[in-house]
């Protein structure tokens, strides 16, 4: 079973990206399954490109176990999304925060 990694992806603008008018980009909180973090990043970037988004930067925050070991408190809703990403061997976009100038 793959691990699930927490990733924060910054995206820029691209025609048809579905971001709000006037936004200069967005941050996407994603949970991505992969055999390692590099694979999770590659899969996430590929999925976002198919969705007409323009990934610029990805920051990895590790697996659930790594985050807990670092002292992070993980809410039950977040745990459910992480479990879903693992069960479906998928990328789950949990939150989109648009950027405005």
Residue environment code for 55-65, b if the CB has 16+ CB neighbours within 10 A, otherwise e: beebebebbbe
Q: In terms of DSSP H, where are the helices of 3-70? A: 37-50, 64-69
Whether the predicted model's global pTM rises above the 0.75 cut: yes
Number of Cβ atoms within 10 Å of the Cβ of 16:
8
Tens-level pLDDT at each residue, the chain (101 residues): 689 999 999 999 999 999 999 999 999 999 999 999 999 999 999 999 999 999 999 999 999 999 999 999 999 999 999 999 999 999 999 999 999 98
pLDDT at 101: 86
């Amino acid at each position: 079973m793959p691990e699930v990694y927490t990733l924060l992806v910054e995206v820029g603008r691209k025609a048809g990206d579905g971001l709000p008018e006037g936004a200069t980009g967005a941050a996407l909180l994603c949970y991505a399954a992969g055999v390692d973090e590099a694979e999770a990043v590659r899969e996430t970037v590929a999925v976002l490109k198919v969705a007409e988004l323009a990934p610029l930067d990805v920051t990895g925050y590790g697996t659930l176990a790594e985050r807990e070991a670092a002292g992070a408190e993980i809410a039950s809703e977040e745990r459910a999304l992480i479990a879903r990403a693992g069960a479906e061997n998928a990328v789950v976009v949990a939150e989109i925060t648009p950027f405005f100038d």
